[in-house]
Structures are given as structure tokens and as C-alpha cells.
Structure 1
Amino acid sequence: MREFAYLRAADVAEAVELAGPQGRYLAGGTNLFDLMREEVERPERVVDISRLPLSAIEPLPGGGLRLGALARNAHVAADDRVRRRYPVLARALLKGASPQLRNRATVGGNLLQRTRCRYFYDLTAACNKREPGAGCDALGGFNRTHAILGASPNCVAVHPSDMCVALAALDATVNLTGPDGERSVPVTGFHLLPGGTPHIETVLRSGELITSVDLPPERPWHGDYVKVRDRASYAFALVSLAVLLDVRHGRTVAARIALGGVAHKPWRAYSAEEQLVGAAADEAAFERAAEAAVAEARPLDHNAFKAELARRLVRRTLVELAGRS
């Protein structure tokens, strides 16, 4: 680990001022410390925001819920309002990490997790995300866990978060504060696809700090979060799925489908949702939606199974949720 300046901010304004273009914010540190220890990231300064008053979980006017950026994943998952009104989020958080990590990890830090691609962490490997223009060894390497949707010739890494997949299905909003003031960004637009700039992972501007995440007012959804992984203990998803379904009188009124473990960002399957809305809530419609969810998949040498796995997962989960309706 290289030397860096450690600074502690007294408030949000000071944190933004201290960070500057070469700084990183420190909250739980569950990902940042790993990256710094392996010298994947080498920030000149680290700004400790862990003591800022950003950990509250508060109701919003109109019925939504605001999650402070420093709210611990364990606290969010255990919050009675989250469990009752947004169970898909609580389930995603509980499946996302070990209890020890959930007790340290924060909402804001979870949004900023970086890929667990082995080539990204290996300083001897070519990685455009770590070193722009270096190439991507994953393309011709062992890419079993890599992206099948939204990838580019420059990067096939996947986003590792479970929480973010649930937030994408819920259409949450990320609130930011930076040198130019405050702004809000839909979580579905917060993360970026790799394109020609895989090292630019989010829409965050220089010095911007995540302050909170807003959940919209609850709807009469039936929802679930499902995660398929290589082992039952703490592991990243091969494919994960957040589904929200509103079925009335045998027809689908509204649907949200978000996939994890398959793309550079949480992947909203908009075409699958369109297949469902207005259609009969039957197995034929669910099969069409499942096919649409993976229609754009472009598997690599070792991960073609992900497309079929995702298709089956979408279909099965829709059938189960419709049954609950």
C-alpha cells in the first residue's frame, strides 16, 4: 500500500472540499481497503466521512423512504419499514454478504463497489478499467463469471452488488452533493456501461459525495430477489434477479425486472417488462418475457450458461410471484 493523506471531514461541505479530484471517500471501507492494499487504487488522499450524520432511515413526504448513505447494510435490512414495504431490498441485502460485512458496509459504499474481475485485481494482467488503453485479458481468458449483456470490446466485467439490483427494480433515486451543489440521479442511470471508457463507472462528477438514496412510495407489488451462486455461503452472483409484479384479475398491470451478475451495471430488462404489461399472467407470457430478458445476450467462451440460467430464473420467479397474486 502506498502512502496517502488521511483527512476527517466535519460535515458534508468540508468533505467535498477536502476530496478534490484525487481523493476517495472512506465509509465502511469494505471494498476500498482491498483495492488500496492490492494497489489497484492509489488515491492521494482519503477523506473519512464515517462520522457524518448520514446514517438515518427517514420517511419522505408522499410515502417514500430515504436511506442515508452511511446507513449500514445490516440496519437497512433489519428496518421494519424496509422489510414490510420493500422486502425485495431487504432480501437482496441479506444475500449480498456475510453478517460481518453487512455490519460495516454502507448504502453509499455498496453503490460504489468495483468489479471483482480477477484481471482487474491482477496488476500483471491487461485491464482497461484499471489502466485505460491496456487491453482486456478477460476477453481471451477465463471469463466464466463475466458479462453477457451490455459489454464492449474494452471490458466484460460485471457489477458485483446485490443491493443495486433491487434498487434498480424499485426505481430508486441517488442524491449527490458536490462542488456545484446538489442533484439527484435515477439509480438506473447512475452506473454506466463500459463502451470505450470502462474506467468511468458512474455519473459521479469530481468530488461528488453520495448523501442518500430515496425509495419511491410503495405499490401493491409482489416481489422477490433470487441469487444463484457457486456456493451457498457468501459469494458473488453468477446471475441474480429482482422482480416486482402487479397482477390484477389475471393480467399483469405493472412489472419490473432487474438482473445482476450479467452486466457492467444492474441490468433492467425493459423489453421483458413491456412483454408482460397488459398480457395475461400465464406461463406463455412469462416465457416470452424470459426470452426477451436475454435476447441481447452475447456470451463469451466460458459463460454461455448464464443466458439460459437467467432465462429460467426469470420465468420461474414470474410464475411463483403470479401464484402469490
Structure 2
Amino acid sequence: MTPFSYQKPASVSEAVSLADAGSRFIAGGTNIVDLMKENVVRPERLIDISGLGLNDIQPTPSGGVLIGALVSNADLAWHPLIEAHYPLLSHAILAGASPQLRNMASTGGNLLQRTRCYYFYDTGTPCNKREPGSGCPARNGQNRIHAILGASAACVATHPSDMCVAMAALEAVVHVQGPDGERQIPFAAFHRLPEDTPERDNQLAVNELVTGIELPPPVFEHHYRYLKIRDRASYAFALVSVAAALSFDGEVIQQARLALGGVAHKPWRDPDVERLLVGQAPCEALFTRAAQALLQGAQPLSHNGFKVTLAQRAIVRALNDAAHGTADRGARP
């Protein structure tokens, strides 16, 4: 770990004014500290935002919920408003990390955690995310955990968050503050695909700070499923995960949401596929067509072709469970 300076601002505006290309914000530190220990990132200055008071969960005038960026993952998952009205999000968070990490990790930090790749974390190898233009050895190397959708010649890393997959399905909105004031970014537009600039994981400017995440009024309180397929039962990143949510008008699907994790540089969602489900009676054949449509264009690598079949089966299973109201209780302690 290289030397760095440390500052703890007293307000959001002060934090934003301190930020530059050589600095990083730190809250719980569950990702940034690991990256610093491995010399993957070498900030000249850490800006500690843990005292800025962004730790409330409040109803909004529109009927939704505004989650402060400093709310811990544990507090978010177990909050009565989230458990009652956004259970998909609660289940997704509890499927991730360990209780100790959930107690420390912040909502904003979870949103901003770096994509996972063996080569990104190994500074002895090239990596376009660390050093643009140096190459992507994962494309022809060990790529079992890597992307099958939305990848590029420059990067095949995947986004690791469980929380973000549920946030994508729920169509959250990210609240951001920078020198020019506040702005809101739809969740679907927040994270980036790698294209030819894989060093940029999201749409934030270097001097912008996430202050909160807003959820719209609840719709999917009863028919939902977060399904996470991984190599071991706990404390492992998803090979494939699925956030599925449905609402019904009688016997037919009125609204549908479907997002994938573990398969791309960002949570993967296609509203056109969700529209295929609307107005239809739930059945396995319908869910299979949706799964095939969502995975259309998948480009597996030498070691991760199994993810295509795994994802298709996981989508069908998650949608079936959501339709029958059989959410995954196994993720909850």
C-alpha cells in the first residue's frame, strides 16, 4: 500500500470540493481498502464520507423510498420498509458477502464496487481496467467467471453486486451531487459496458458523489425471486444470478422485471424481453422464450460456455418461483 493523505469533510459540498483524479471517497471501505492493499488503486488522498449523515431510509412524496448512500447493507436488508415493500432487494442483499461485510458495506459503496476479474486484481499481469491499452489476458486465459453478454475486445469482467441486480430490476434512480449541483441517473444508465474504455465502470465524474438511491413506489411485494447460482453456498460471487419480479391482473402478467448478474460488466436487463411476458398467462414455455430472448447474442469464452445454459435454466426457475409466490427463503439467516 502506497502512502496517502486523509481528510474527513463535514458536508457533502465540502467532500465534492476536495475530490479530484488523485482522490477516492471511502465509507465502509470493504472494496477500496482491498484494492489499495493489492496496489490495484493508489489514491493520493482518501476522503472519508462516513460522517456526512447520509444514513436514512425515508419514504418519498411519490410513494417510494430514498435510501441514503451510507446506509449499511445490513440495515437496508432488514429495514421494515424494505422487507415489507421491496423484499426482492432484501433477499438479494442477504445473498451477498457475509454478515460482517454487510454490517460495514454501504449502499453507495456496493453500487460502486469494482468489477471482479482475476487479472484485474493481479498487478503482475496486464489489464485494460488498470492500465488502458495493456491488454485483456482473460479473453484467452482463465475466464470461467467472466462475461457472456455485453463484453468487448478490451474487457470481459463482470459486475459482482447482488444488490445492484435487484436495484436494476426495481428501476432505482441514483442521486448524485457534484460541483454543478445535484442530478439523478436512472439505474439502467448508471453502470457502463466496457467497450473501449473498461477503466470506467460507471457514469460518475471524478468529483461527483453518490448521495442516495431512490426506489419507485412498490409493485412487486408478493411475486418475486432472487436466485443466485454460485460455487459454494455462501460468501461467493454469482456465476449467474436472476432478479425476477411479476405483478398480475387476474391470471395474466401485468408487469414483469428481469435482471441478470454474473454475466456482464453491469446488471443485464432488456425491457423488450420483459414486454414479451406482459399480458400472458405464466407457463414454462413462455418463460423459456423469455430466457432465450434475454440471452440472445451471448458470446461465451473458452471456459464459461456453461453459463449460457445455466442462465437459461436459472431464468425459467426464477420466473416460475416468482409466478407462484415462492421466494427464496434460504438466503435469510
Taking structure 2 as the reference length, the TM-score comes to: 0.95
Q: Distance in 2 between matches of 1:309 and 1:212?
A: 34
Q: Distance in 1 between matches of 2:119 and 2:66?
A: 36
* Structure 1 position 220, deviation (Å): 4.7
Q: Secondary structure at the match of 2:62?
A: coil
Are the aligned partners of 2:111 and 2:161 in contact in 1 as well (CA < 8 Å)?
yes
Opposite residue 178 of structure 1, the aligned amino acid is G
Are the aligned partners of 2:224 and 2:325 in contact in 1 as well (CA < 8 Å)?
no
Residue of structure 2 equivalent to 1:306: 307
Residue of structure 2 equivalent to 1:132: 132
Are the aligned partners of 2:85 and 2:220 in contact in 1 as well (CA < 8 Å)?
no
Matches for 1:114-153 after TM superposition, within 5 Å: 114-153=114-153
Opposite residue 228 of structure 2, the aligned amino acid is K
Are the aligned partners of 1:35 and 1:41 in contact in 2 as well (CA < 8 Å)?
yes
Q: What do the CA deviations read for 1:11-64 (whole angstroms, capped 9, x no partner)?
A: 101101112232100100000001011110011111000111100111100210
Q: Distance in 1 between matches of 2:89 and 2:212?
A: 15
Are the aligned partners of 2:175 and 2:212 in contact in 1 as well (CA < 8 Å)?
yes
Residue of structure 1 equivalent to 2:251: 250
Residue of structure 2 equivalent to 1:185: 185
CA RMSD of aligned residues (A): 1.1
Q: Distance in 2 between matches of 1:134 and 1:294?
A: 30
Q: Secondary structure at the match of 2:138?
A: coil
Residue of structure 2 equivalent to 1:277: 278
1:243–1:220 Cα change, 3 Å: closer
Residue of structure 2 equivalent to 1:59: 59
Identity of aligned residues (%): 55
1:40–1:320 Cα change, 3 Å: same
Consecutive unaligned residues of structure 1, counting only runs of 5 or more, are none
Q: Secondary structure at the match of 2:58?
A: strand
Residue of structure 1 equivalent to 2:330: none
Matches for 1:204-215 after TM superposition, within 5 Å: 204-215=204-215
Residue of structure 1 equivalent to 2:217: 217
Q: Secondary structure at the match of 1:218?
A: coil
Q: Distance in 1 between matches of 2:198 and 2:24?
A: 19
Are the aligned partners of 2:225 and 2:321 in contact in 1 as well (CA < 8 Å)?
no
Opposite residue 275 of structure 2, the aligned amino acid is E
Q: Distance in 2 between matches of 1:322 and 1:58?
A: 29
Q: Distance in 1 between matches of 2:13 and 2:325?
A: 47
Are the aligned partners of 1:88 and 1:224 in contact in 2 as well (CA < 8 Å)?
yes
Tell me if 1:8 matches 2:23.
no
Residue of structure 2 equivalent to 1:106: 106
Tell me if 1:265 matches 2:266.
yes
Are the aligned partners of 1:271 and 1:292 in contact in 2 as well (CA < 8 Å)?
no
Consecutive unaligned residues of structure 2, counting only runs of 5 or more, are 327-333
Give the aligned length: 325
Q: Secondary structure at the match of 1:194?
A: coil
Residue of structure 2 equivalent to 1:297: 298
Tell me if 1:196 matches 2:199.
no
Residue of structure 2 equivalent to 1:159: 159
Opposite residue 190 of structure 2, the aligned amino acid is F
Q: Distance in 2 between matches of 1:165 and 1:187?
A: 10
Opposite residue 159 of structure 1, the aligned amino acid is H
Are the aligned partners of 1:64 and 1:218 in contact in 2 as well (CA < 8 Å)?
yes
